[in-house]
A and B are shown apart, each in its own frame.
Chain A
Amino acid sequence: MNEPSRIEEATASAQVNGKAAIHSRVADLLDDVTVGGEPRVAASSAPPETETPAAAINDIPAPVTEPRLAPPAAPIKPPASPPMPDTPSNDDHTEAAASPETHPATQPESGTAATLPGEPFVGGMRRVPPVAPLPAVTETPPEPPITPAPAGEPESPPAADVPPFLAKPAAPRMPVPKAEMPPAAAAPVPPATGETELPVDGAQAAPNQLINIKGRSEGIAVEIGKGSWNEVMAALAERLDASGRFFRKGSVALDTGPRPVSEDELHQLAGVLATHEMTLGIVRTASERTFQAALALGFTATLESAEGAPMAAAAPADTNTDAASYFVYRGYLRSGHRLRRKENILVIGDINPGAEVVSDGDILVWGRLRGIVQAGAGGNKRAIVAALDLEPTQLRIADVATMGPDPKPGQPGRFFWRRSQHKRPEIARIVDDAVVLEEWDAARPGGLVSLRRGAG
Chain B
Amino acid sequence: MAGTVITVTSGKGGVGKTTTTANLCAALTQLGQRVVAIDADIGLRNLDLVMGLENRIHYDSIDVAEGRCTLQQALVRDPRAEFLYMLPAAQTRDKTDINADQMCAICKQLINIADFVLIDSPAGIEHGFSTAIAPADRVLIVTTSDVSALRDADKVIYLLERDWRYQPGLVINRYNQRLVNSGEMRGIDDVLDILAIDLMGVVPEDERLMLSTDRGTPAAFDRRMSVRRAYENIARRVMGNNVPLTDYYRPGFRGWLARLFGR
A36 touches B69 (CB 8 A): yes
A110 to B48, CA, bound (A): 34
B147 touches A114 (CB 8 A): no
Q: What does the 1/0 interface line of B230-248 toward A look like (CB < 8 Å)?
A: 0000001111111111000
Chain A neighbourhood of B58, CB < 8 A: 9-10, 13, 35-37
Chain A neighbourhood of B72, CB < 8 A: 36-37, 39-40, 42, 54-57, 60
A174 to B103, CA, bound (A): 12
Q: What's the nearest-Cβ distance from chain A to residue B69, in Å?
A: 6
Q: What's the nearest-Cβ distance from chain A to residue B216, in Å?
A: 16
Of the residues A37, A56, A89, contact of B85 by C-beta under 8 Å: A37
Interface residues of B in 31-73 (CB under 8 A from A): 31-34, 55-56, 58-59, 63, 68-73
A173 touches B150 (CB 8 A): no
B167 touches A54 (CB 8 A): no
A413 touches B244 (CB 8 A): no
Q: What's the nearest-Cβ distance from chain A to residue B107, in Å?
A: 7
Interface residues of B in 125-146 (CB under 8 A from A): 130, 134-138, 146
A169 touching B190 in the complex, CB below 8 Å, given contacts A35-B73, A36-B58, A353-B151: no
User: Any chain B CB within 8 A of the CB of A300?
Assistant: no
User: Any chain A CB within 8 A of the CB of B159?
Assistant: yes
A84 to B4, CA, bound (A): 15
* Range for the number of chain A residues in contact with chain B: 35 or more
Chain B neighbourhood of A419, CB < 8 A: 193
Q: What's the nearest-Cβ distance from chain A to residue B36, in Å?
A: 9
Chain A neighbourhood of B163, CB < 8 A: 175-177, 289
B108 touches A151 (CB 8 A): yes
A334 touching B241 in the complex, CB below 8 Å, given contacts A153-B2, A164-B198, A165-B197: no
User: Any chain B CB within 8 A of the CB of A96?
Assistant: yes
A390 to B146, CA, bound (A): 21
B188 touches A121 (CB 8 A): no
Mark the stretch among B74-82, B203-211, B218-226, B253-261 that contacts chain A.
B74-82
B77 touches A37 (CB 8 A): yes
B92 touches A1 (CB 8 A): yes
Chain A neighbourhood of B198, CB < 8 A: 121-122, 126, 130, 163-165
Chain A neighbourhood of B16, CB < 8 A: none
A152 to B69, CA, bound (A): 23
Across the A-B interface, how many residue pairs have beta carbons closer than 8 Å? 307
User: Any chain A CB within 8 A of the CB of B168?
Assistant: yes
A175 touches B130 (CB 8 A): yes
B186 touches A416 (CB 8 A): yes
User: Any chain B CB within 8 A of the CB of A119?
Assistant: yes
A37 touching B74 in the complex, CB below 8 Å, given contacts A89-B1, A122-B245, A123-B242: yes
A127 to B206, CA, bound (A): 27
Q: What does the 1/0 interface line of B149-172 toward A look like (CB < 8 Å)?
A: 011101101110111111111000
A411 to B196, CA, bound (A): 21
Mark the stretch among A65-73, A306-314, A425-433 that contacts chain B.
A65-73
B138 touches A165 (CB 8 A): yes
Chain A neighbourhood of B69, CB < 8 A: 32, 35-36
A37 touches B56 (CB 8 A): yes
Q: Which residue of B has the minimal Cβ distance to A129?
A: B196
Chain A neighbourhood of B71, CB < 8 A: 57
Q: Which residue of B has the minimal Cβ distance to A35?
A: B73
User: Any chain B CB within 8 A of the CB of A24?
Assistant: no
Q: What does the 1/0 interface line of B112-125 toward A look like (CB < 8 Å)?
A: 11010000000000
Chain B neighbourhood of A151, CB < 8 A: 104, 107-108, 111, 135
User: Any chain A CB within 8 A of the CB of B252?
Assistant: no
B32 touches A76 (CB 8 A): yes
B158 touches A127 (CB 8 A): no
Chain A neighbourhood of B109, CB < 8 A: 57, 84-85
A36 touches B74 (CB 8 A): yes
Interface residues of A in 295-350 (CB under 8 A from B): 332, 334-337, 350
User: Any chain B CB within 8 A of the CB of A434?
Assistant: no
A418 touching B192 in the complex, CB below 8 Å, given contacts A48-B82, A97-B238, A165-B198: no
B186 touches A413 (CB 8 A): yes
Q: What's the nearest-Cβ distance from chain A to residue B182, in Å?
A: 9
A96 touching B4 in the complex, CB below 8 Å, given contacts A13-B56, A57-B109, A106-B31: yes
Seen from chain A, the residues whose Cβ lies within 8 Å of a Cβ on chain B are 1, 9-10, 13, 16-17, 30, 32, 35-42, 48, 54-57, 60, 64-65, 67-71, 76-77, 82, 84-85, 87-89, 91, 93, 95-99, 101-103, 105-108, 112-116, 119, 121-128, 130-131, 133-134, 139-140, 144, 150-153, 163-171, 173-177, 288-289, 332, 334-337, 350, 352-354, 368, 410-413, 415-419
Besides A96-B240, A335-B151, 11 other CB < 8 A contacts? A36-B74, A37-B76, A65-B112, A93-B4, A102-B240, A112-B242, A115-B241, A121-B199, A122-B237, A151-B108, A418-B193
Seen from chain B, the residues whose Cβ lies within 8 Å of a Cβ on chain A are 1-4, 29, 31-34, 55-56, 58-59, 63, 68-77, 81-83, 85, 92, 100-101, 104-105, 107-109, 111-113, 115, 130, 134-138, 146-147, 150-152, 154-155, 157-159, 161-169, 183-190, 192-194, 196-201, 236-245
Instruction: Report 9 cross-chain contacts, Cβ distance below 8 Å, ordered by A residue.
Output: A35-B59, A48-B82, A114-B242, A125-B192, A133-B161, A174-B100, A175-B100, A175-B163, A334-B155
